[in-house]
Amino acid sequence: MKKILAFVFLFSCFSCDPIEYDIFGTIEGTVVDSETFEPLGMASVDLSPGSKNVITSDDGKFVFADLDAQQYSLSVHKNGYESNIRTVKVLSGEISTIVITIKKVNE
């Protein structure tokens, strides 16, 4: 009987999946025109620190995934628009969502 209980105890200890914690976070965002709030595709979004860069999709969306938990700067550039810089704090296991507006350059 003791052998059976010992086996059941050992089996239950080793069959459990270890708890895994997500140590990374994600930034999801949208770049929009500051006057019309229309999404802006083909805008360049630079992440610092990390030196990553993405181009927004046609609906103005962008994603930076698997980021260390810390504060980041996002710098947005698009021809015909003024640049804008925003800061975002990334928390482990969470998605930080941001809308960044940029203003048309007066010609």
Domains along the sequence of the chain with CATH: 21-102 (2.60.40.10)
Q: Are 3 and 70 in contact (CB under 8 A)?
A: no
Q: Are 100 and 37 in contact (CB under 8 A)?
A: no
Tens digit of each residue's pLDDT (9 = 90 or more) over 72-87: 999 999 999 999 999 9
Q: Does 88 score more than 60 pLDDT?
A: yes
Q: Does 96 score more than 80 pLDDT?
A: yes
What's the half-sphere exposure (Cβ side, CA atoms, 13 Å) at 79? 1
Q: Does 10 score more than 80 pLDDT?
A: no
CA-wise closest residue to 74 among 42, 96, 41, 106? 96
Tens digit of each residue's pLDDT (9 = 90 or more) over 32-75: 999 999 999 999 999 999 899 999 999 999 999 999 999 999 99
- Tell me, rounded to whole angstroms, the distance of Cα 20 from its chain centroid: 20
Q: Does 106 score more than 70 pLDDT?
A: yes
CA-wise closest residue to 63 among 16, 91, 26? 26
Q: Does 5 score more than 50 pLDDT?
A: no
Q: Does 89 score more than 90 pLDDT?
A: yes
Average pLDDT over residues 83-101: 97
Q: Are 15 and 8 in contact (CB under 8 A)?
A: no
